[in-house]
Amino acid sequence: MTPYPSFPRQTLALFGWLALCFTASATSLFISVDGWHYALIKPSWNPPSWVFAPAWTLLYILMAVSAWLVWRVGGWRVQTKALCLFMVQWALNLLWTPLFFGIHRPDLALIDILALWLTISITLLAFWQVRRLASVLLLPYLAWVTFATALNFTIWRLNP
């Protein structure tokens, strides 16, 4: 077992992982949720808009802590595979908003979110081998993305 980094380094790293995870939401700053989104036919089980900000806030915190816990066990040098998987899923997460809201392509967003779901699942398994708690912290994220995938699919089907 590799010794943990010093406390100041751990603290800086945790803030770094938090900053990274929250930057995935930054794409929404450049996207206008215009009349297109409001005009979409949505299923009755579509959550109200106010649910998304608190849900994603919690998910980004859980994601960051999860990655940080894995990073603490040897850093990038030892956990290259697990942390690179995390970064791939993060990039796919980052891409979804511009695809769905930016260029109004629920079909491309659906392909992205399916790849995201698969990558989160693989990341979860990789994290399990390093630190089980890190894996467990990703379960709400996987559950939310599962729900979001069903919602994305339904919106795509309802709006040909």
Vertex 92: Cα angle to 135 and 117 (nearest 5): 50
Q: What is the pLDDT along the chain (160 residues), one digit of tens a residue?
A: 555 667 788 899 999 999 999 998 877 766 766 788 889 999 999 999 899 999 999 999 999 999 999 999 988 999 999 999 999 999 999 999 999 999 999 999 999 999 999 999 999 999 999 999 999 999 999 999 999 999 999 999 999 8
CATH numeric code, 51-158? 1.20.1260.100
The domain limits of the chain are: 51-158
Q: What pLDDT score was predicted for residue 160?
A: 85
Diameter of the chain measured on Cα atoms: 55
* Residue type at position 134: A
Q: What pLDDT score was predicted for residue 3?
A: 59
Dig out the tokens for 43 from the structure.
Answer: 């299923």
